[in-house]
Structure 1
């Protein structure tokens, strides 16, 4: 007996969004992505699902139906996040002319053939400012023309227990006449306290710049429920090696206290391009967050030159595992590929806890899903 509804994840990457739905009780049947290395991570962490590699343009509805054993109209939820680099506020050349900016139309093509009951599409919040909201309107129109009622909202990951300031836009739609609700925040003022950086990573072993292994013993027992949940029954942690920084960067970090940034680096040690910067510029660069802070947005490259990615105590950049913890990935997620590829997989992902909150919101709207959960 299946536990709950069924899910297919387009543009799945390593599988952060589908992991959130799985945690909420859904059965993930398949994932599709162009990145075969991310696909190896997805396949290893979603053994119950089929990974389909290759371009989304070449993915057919008949293939999806074949590998899942479904018929058109039977899928409960189609989730996915079309590659967002064309929209991101970190891409200063963003716009509708970026070829990646039209991949949501491929999502809609699959919707037309699969006819899932629910749709969940996510992207970066910068989508709202492209072409005066033109892409937002096109997505809404496309879903409505296929018979779906749709709404969207920008969600803040930290309000759902993710120890990171991250804004994502979510489109939720259905064709079954159910109400559309977005998850209510669980963390923040008058709610549970935010999960901090130190809440997330304090049990991970210390590693030196350029050192660490693929398997390390934990430094301590879990000190809070967040660590306990993400660790599960694991005795060792993977993907916990620090990238090797240059001697110049190591010297710079010696001058940066917790809560500090590039402004604390002596002028003669600053990168040439930053010597002309105003004090108000580059607010996160060479940042060393306080233990009590939320992490800044985890990007695909946790480079200390571009953000607050210095460890709160140690003179080094955060590891892949620390980035994954700040994204709320369980430690059982072992990321495949080179270290660069691992950072990309983590940074591109939807935080699983945010995905789980969205999944729970769907359950609250759809009696058929909640009934299946009760039976399970």
Structure 2
């Protein structure tokens, strides 16, 4: 029997996909985002998507949907937004409605009693209350019987063609060792996956052009492309956002690796005409084929980051953003184009999720298990 997982705040299912690649069976995903739910359902046909606020999800419902009784779940995954933990900073108090998310997360941990928990969060969590948020997470889970350790993981060190830093909390209630995955890419390891490795086989697009479902433009001649394409002969979600005339004029002046500082002064947005040249180094950035992508956000807006294609005068497509997040091409994103970008940007890169899942399985196989008593 495969180890099992439930993914809270699952979005489109990036972490779920990674855990499944590692050998887990994801039984359910929970999220409010309807478009992401449609993507999750289309890409995790064996799992149940529960579209409702986490506070409305009952333990009985999870038992019914997953077929798992309390104590039988292997991993409860998912990361409540970091703002939730500000409740433990007394200056903010309980008024912040987002505090509910973490409290409800704890309720589900207590109710389902998973052997392991995996939580993902942004680096900003370390700055909340001078580290108070991190201490609170560990303290509250300790009360439920879980020892927890956190570590910053760099997505590019696990084959993701993107500079992305995330805090990963791993914990268990069975007394097993807690270990995070070790890098597979970097110095003295496999080379980083470059932007060309990731998106160099996708068809050329003009500004605003959407090819629908289309053929690849070249062979899968990199390990990453082989992973992304699998047995597929065509690719979807490859459409460029339509940018206005002034942005097209701006991009014409930006070389690979360049940014807003290469744009003639008269073409700059009004606010950037007052900026220091040392500021906003990623804005209007053009990618380089041999580099890594900047962090993929929920809106690949050229005004906010380096989201200009290395050669073509346009912003990257949803599929290119998804490739840079290490999503395989069988992931077809549903909803409007805006909703698709949000799904991609919010996700845990599947290859990072896979690395976490493999390390968990390794620990489960070799680690000694001594039950941890709740406080």
TM category (shorter chain) comes to over 0.9
**Aligned-pair distance for 1:82?**
1.6
- Residue 107 of structure 1: aligned partner: 105
Contact 2:149–2:171 at 8 Å: present in 1 too?
yes
**Aligned-pair distance for 1:133?**
1.1
Give the secondary-structure state (helix, strand or coil) at the position aligned to 1:335. coil
| Residues 231 and 95 of structure 1, relative CA distance in 2, 3 Å threshold | farther
| Residues 85 and 278 of structure 1, relative CA distance in 2, 3 Å threshold | farther
- Residue 12 of structure 1: aligned partner: 10
**Which residue of the other structure, out of 345, 350, 356, is the alignment partner of 1:347?**
345
**Aligned-pair distance for 1:214?**
2.3
Give the secondary-structure state (helix, strand or coil) at the position aligned to 1:252. helix
Distance 1:283 1:304 in 2: 12
- Residue 22 of structure 2: aligned partner: 24
Q: Deviations over 1:44-101 (max 9, x none)?
A: 00000000001011111110001111110000000002235779xxxxxx99975335
Contact 1:162–1:327 at 8 Å: present in 2 too?
yes
Give the secondary-structure state (helix, strand or coil) at the position aligned to 2:213. strand
> How many aligned residue pairs are there?
362
The root-mean-square deviation of aligned C-alpha atoms, in Å, is 1.8
- Residue 72 of structure 1: aligned partner: 70
Q: Which runs of 5+ in 1 are unaligned?
A: 88-93, 370-376
Distance 2:182 2:95 in 1: 35
| Residues 53 and 349 of structure 1, relative CA distance in 2, 3 Å threshold | same
Give the secondary-structure state (helix, strand or coil) at the position aligned to 1:308. coil
**Which residue of the other structure, out of 157, 160, 172, is the alignment partner of 1:159?**
157
**Higher mean C-alpha displacement, 297-306 vs 124-133:** 124-133
- Residue 280 of structure 2: aligned partner: 282
Distance 1:274 1:11 in 2: 36
Q: How does 1:285-296 map to 2 (within 5 A)?
A: 285-296=283-294
What TM-score does the superposition give when structure 2 sets the normalisation length?
0.94
Q: Deviations over 1:105-155 (max 9, x none)?
A: 221110000000000011111110111111111110111000011100110
**Which residue of the other structure, out of 314, 328, 331, is the alignment partner of 1:330?**
328
Contact 1:96–1:130 at 8 Å: present in 2 too?
no
Q: How does 1:35-74 map to 2 (within 5 A)?
A: 35-74=33-72
| Residues 97 and 288 of structure 1, relative CA distance in 2, 3 Å threshold | farther
Contact 2:141–2:148 at 8 Å: present in 1 too?
yes
Contact 1:95–1:101 at 8 Å: present in 2 too?
no
Contact 2:82–2:124 at 8 Å: present in 1 too?
no
Q: Deviations over 1:137-179 (max 9, x none)?
A: 1110111000011100110000000000000001100011110
Distance 1:214 1:179 in 2: 47
- Residue 81 of structure 1: aligned partner: 79
Give the secondary-structure state (helix, strand or coil) at the position aligned to 1:366. helix
Q: Which runs of 5+ in 2 are unaligned?
A: 86-91, 368-375
Distance 1:360 1:212 in 2: 37
Contact 2:84–2:102 at 8 Å: present in 1 too?
no
| Residues 368 and 116 of structure 1, relative CA distance in 2, 3 Å threshold | farther
Distance 1:104 1:298 in 2: 25
**Which residue of the other structure, out of 293, 296, 299, is the alignment partner of 2:297?**
299
Give the secondary-structure state (helix, strand or coil) at the position aligned to 1:257. coil
Q: How does 1:86-101 map to 2 (within 5 A)?
A: 99-100=97-98
Distance 1:248 1:316 in 2: 12
| Residues 86 and 145 of structure 1, relative CA distance in 2, 3 Å threshold | closer
| Residues 183 and 33 of structure 1, relative CA distance in 2, 3 Å threshold | same
**Higher mean C-alpha displacement, 103-112 vs 308-317:** 103-112
- The structure 1 segments of at least 4 consecutive aligned residues displaced by more than 4 Å after TM superposition are 84-87, 94-98
- Residue 90 of structure 1: aligned partner: none
What TM-score does the superposition give when structure 1 sets the normalisation length?
0.93
Contact 1:86–1:96 at 8 Å: present in 2 too?
no
| Residues 299 and 96 of structure 1, relative CA distance in 2, 3 Å threshold | farther
Give the secondary-structure state (helix, strand or coil) at the position aligned to 2:319. helix
